[in-house]
Amino acid sequence: MANDEVHGGTVQCKDARDLIYVTRGGAGRVLSLGGLQRMGWALRRAPDARQVMKLLQSRPGHPYAALLDLREGFSEHDLAEFGDALSAGNIGWVAGVDAGQLSDEPVRRLIRDYCYDYVTLPCPEGVLNTVIGHAHGMARLGSGRVDRVSSAGSDDMIGDSPAMQALNRTLRKAALTEAPVFIAGETGTGKELAAMAVHRHSHRHAHPFVAINCGAIPHELVQSELFGYERGAFTGAQQRKLGRFEMANGGTLFLDEIGDLPLESQASLLRFLQQGSFERLGGHEQIRVDVRIISATHHDLEHAVDEGRFRADLYHRLCVLRLQQPPLRDRGADIDKLADHALKRYSDEGQHALKGFAPCARQALHSHPWPGNVRELINRVRQAVVMAEGRLITAEDLHIDGPASRPPPTLEDIRDAATRCAIEQALQRNRGRLIDTARELAISRVTLYRLMGRHGLRESESDGNDRSVRIF
């Protein structure tokens, strides 16, 4: 890209950019586009899909902008023939229409599913230059994407957004130490992958990585799963069984959903972290193992400590180094890379070959809030691979409503969310004490109380004289 400049989302090349003008219009309906040529566009005309494909085949992978002049001459059947050309990843399509055509459903569908934008023709060449410039820029980005996906990274953790770069840096530093690591983050953000990466980069990598999901094991069995038992320790204990601590000797023990660890096991874990040893159930011998602990949860562990469900002393022992997994919605272009990766991985499961994502799907991927994060993204793409009927996955195949049906947040929405977040965090820091929280936020206690009511941060109405509240 050394020869390029970026202006407001349009990659502007000092070399000529290629524009395909697809038209069947008769005299008077064909745009001359001489101005665009003077602006640096190398113009080629194509009357049909066959010509477009020929152009593409002559320079595989080369990016083009294409203006599809729909004003006359294309039947629905003709348009269907454009399937391959419209699906080609290295063309940025712009539709040119008469204003009246926008109520025509096949035209609307074609624009929505395959085009970066549309213009009503005729329009000033300056406008066309901007719009096709954007489409060309997107085509160029699209043609580079494939390579980056194939070099997915040694940890199978796809993504190089600033948030993921920061995580990777912290993760590698953590791997060089022996300190316990705590990984926080919403469900499906890749906490387990991160734990494995810490292990893989540590000097323990040749030893076992043992994971246990503390939330998936019945409470009465957690202790024996973790620490093992001696023969005869309880009815049915016919022989000695090693626990996960011993299995992980020399390596790493990953305690997933640590917030669900019963209090009894919390005490045993704390003892292990203090002494480096434990007893098997029914045994008296102190067993010493060399294990590094990584823990994770998608719950708010600080909240569990405040509520007395999790021991504060254990919390401080586990959270020596803290990794925060960024939510998928904060990872920008990583969303595309993850989607491409999932498509590649599951493409065999579909009935026919898929070429990628339609522009409407790309837009939907970026407008969806992803409450289930990477796991949800992978599942949606996998399902879309099976369900898609066209050559490109559409927003509909992903079962995501387009941005049109969900209005973007207003300034008031954004302000409300920021206010709620600031109050919540200040309350946490001040352990729910209203006077201290109000002082920190430089507002009166009455104002704080009113805002808490407005943002659903207090349980019930009272006179505002409480000295503290339960944060929920």
Ligand X SMILES: Nc1ncnc2c1ncn2[C@@H]1O[C@H](COP(=O)(O)OP(=O)(O)OP(=O)(O)O)[C@@H](O)[C@H]1O
Binding site for ligand X (CB under 6 A): 156-159, 185, 187-193, 298, 338, 374-375, 378
Least distance in Å: CB of 307 to ligand X? 20
Kindly report the backbone phi and psi dihedral angles of residue 240, in degrees, each rounded to the nearest multiple of 5, phi listed first: -60, 140
Q: What is the largest CA-CA distance in the chain?
A: 97
* 354 vs 377 by CB, closer to ligand X: 377
* 97 vs 374 by CB, closer to ligand X: 374
Scan for tokens 């203006």, then name that residue: 67
* 95 vs 175 by CB, closer to ligand X: 175
Q: Which of Mg ion, ligand X, none binds 187 (CB below 5-8 Å, type-dependent)?
A: ligand X
* 133 vs 327 by CB, closer to ligand X: 327
Least distance in Å: CB of 470 to ligand X? 25
- DSSP letter for 5, please: E
Dump the DSSP string for 148-211: HHHS--TTS----SHHHHHHHHHHHHHHTS-S-EEEE--TTS-HHHHHHHHHHHSTTTTS-EEE
Q: Which of ligand X, Mg ion, none binds 441 (CB below 5-8 Å, type-dependent)?
A: none
Least distance in Å: CB of 210 to ligand X? 15
- Contact present, 299 and 191 (Cβ < 8 Å): no
Q: Which residue is nearest to ligand X (CB)?
A: 190
Residue 202, both tokens: 């540590």
Least distance in Å: CB of 233 to ligand X? 31
Least distance in Å: CB of 337 to ligand X? 8
Q: Which of ligand X, Mg ion, none binds 423 (CB below 5-8 Å, type-dependent)?
A: none
Mark out the alpha helices in 288-372 (DSSP H runs). 301-306, 312-318, 334-346, 359-367
- Contact present, 243 and 201 (Cβ < 8 Å): no
* 246 vs 260 by CB, closer to ligand X: 260
Least distance in Å: CB of 326 to ligand X? 10
The 3-state DSSP class for residue 97 equals strand
Q: Which of 109, 139, 135 is nearest to 396 (CA)?
A: 109
Residues that bind Mg ion (CB under 5 A): 191-192, 256
* 51 vs 187 by CB, closer to Mg ion: 187
Rounded Cα–Cα distance for residues 38 and 36 (Å): 5
Least distance in Å: CB of 370 to Mg ion? 16
* 33 vs 374 by CB, closer to ligand X: 374
Rounded to 10 degrees, the C-alpha dihedral 383/387/393/398 comes to -50
Rounded Cα–Cα distance for residues 34 and 187 (Å): 54
